[in-house]
Structure 1
Amino acid sequence: MQPIFDFFFDQYSGYPTLFIILEIIAVIFGFLSVWYSKQNNILVYPTGIVSTIIFVYLLWQWQLLGDMMINAYYFSMSIYGWYIWTRKVDPEHYTPITSTTKKEQIQSVFIFLGTLLFVFAVYEYFEKWNNWTAYVDTVTTAIFFVGMWLMAKRKIENWIYWIIGDIISVPLYFYKGLTFTSLQYLVFTIIAIYGYKAWKKNLRNDLRPA
């Protein structure tokens, strides 16, 4: 049992206790945020904001710039999403779950490509191309940027981007030595799959004639 424990958590032996506690808190609030998103509950945003603020601090300390930018972007988009989700489209209804339009699909492509170029420039400027994970970071950052934008607009396709990004992130974060975060993304993947199914059911119900 001890070798298994060491395999998963030995990388924390040199971490300050504060960092470990903060990561656990951020992971817990991250779980809550994704769960509330699956439930189509507005609490996705306040819980997500707590998680992202902590991760921005931790990832800056660990010099994981791509991951830090993801969470900084999550924070700003959480504020935007909070506003969109509470905005009424008429006197009785809030912004509903919908599918992306052709225009939004094109915008998603531009956000993805623009993010790739931006993150590449940041890594180039700070000379962070010292590990193969940096290249994967640029891709996952772009995937999550699109996913967060679509979630803020309450588009069902956001879950597809989350699922793809989460699957990539599970082994990536474990390799980086962030075991708790890796496990978080594993659970995120499972929740995202159920979230897509739940939102799809919700969308179908909304499309049914009254």
Structure 2
Amino acid sequence: MTVFELFDIHNTLVTIPLGSGYDMSWIEAIGTLFGLLCIWFASKEKTINYPFGLLNVTLFAIIFYQIQLYGILLLQVFFFAANVYGWYAWTRTDDNGETLSVRWMTPSKQTVVAVLSVISIALMTMYIDRFFALLANFTINTMNVFGARLTLPTLSPDAFPFWDSTLTVLSIVAQILMTRKYVENWILWVVVNVISIGVYAAQGVYALAIEYVILLFIALNGTREWVKTASSNAEANQQ
């Protein structure tokens, strides 16, 4: 099997007996495995989560390129950059030689993040089709500069505009909060995973729904462990 064949979404690894049958490709299986490892190690506050995260978003960017979801492809570029920054932020030491510690956001920061998230979700819900069309156009024009010779596919209206907007915004916010080691990131991932399970099950994509059930349990464990760590860090700072 060549590298190009491995990255082809039509190169099926296994057909999952769900619904009418779901053909999972090698690239999707490997990308999903890296994604699960990324989230698991992040829940354990292990910096090694970031190499797995970079591999995950890279492979899924290739998938979205092949199925012509260029707007979502561009979001993978953001997640790639966030993983690079998170890797740096988690390993950087301050003047005292200390690395970033797990903690809660201050009430004022929580309020600002909540307000901005609600506003962003509302705006994206109203303009989600236009938003992803702009992202797709930008991605295609950028790739064509480098000789890709792509044409813009016909984009169908979003089936679940509010829920897709919520998932997009909260995923971005959660990723940013994780890079700063705020406990709230796991609470947002729990919400994202619960919504994802419902959306994918409603669309009949049961394999993805099952994947997000696994991610939900990892996020719940991450919440539990980071709450405990944040409490220990707070007590140590008070002494």
**Where on the TM-score scale, by shorter chain, does this alignment land: which range?**
0.7 to 0.9
SS in 1 for 2:29: helix
Aligned residues of 2:39 and 2:215 also touching (Cα < 8 A): yes
Distance 1:132 1:82 in 2: 35
Aligned residues of 1:112 and 1:146 also touching (Cα < 8 A): no
Matched, 1:26 2:47: no
SS in 2 for 1:208: helix
Question: Against the structure 1 CA distance between its residues 107 and 41, is the aligned structure 2 distance closer, same or farther, given a 3 Å change threshold?
Answer: same
Task: Tell me which amino acid in the other structure corresponds to 2:94.
Answer: V
Question: Against the structure 1 CA distance between its residues 65 and 163, is the aligned structure 2 distance closer, same or farther, given a 3 Å change threshold?
Answer: farther
Aligned residues of 2:37 and 2:49 also touching (Cα < 8 A): yes
Question: Against the structure 1 CA distance between its residues 158 and 36, is the aligned structure 2 distance closer, same or farther, given a 3 Å change threshold?
Answer: same
Larger radius of gyration: 2
**Correspondence for 1:109:** 115
SS in 1 for 2:32: helix
> Structure 2, unaligned stretches of length 5 or more?
1-15, 137-153
**Correspondence for 1:123:** 132
Task: Tell me which amino acid in the other structure corresponds to 1:32.
Answer: L
- Please give the per-residue CA displacement for 1:10-53, whole angstroms capped at 9, x wherever unaligned: 142xxxxxx71100001100110011011000011110110011
SS in 1 for 2:18: helix
Identity of aligned residues (%): 23
Aligned residues of 2:65 and 2:73 also touching (Cα < 8 A): yes
**Correspondence for 1:88:** 93
Distance 1:206 1:168 in 2: 31
Aligned residues of 1:123 and 1:129 also touching (Cα < 8 A): no
Matched, 1:203 2:221: no
The alignment's TM-score, normalised by the length of structure 2, stands at 0.72
Aligned residues of 1:66 and 1:138 also touching (Cα < 8 A): no
Q: Which moved more, 1:128-137 or 1:91-100?
A: 128-137
Distance 1:172 1:65 in 2: 20
**Correspondence for 1:6:** 17
Matched, 1:77 2:104: no
> Structure 1, unaligned stretches of length 5 or more?
13-18
SS in 2 for 1:94: coil
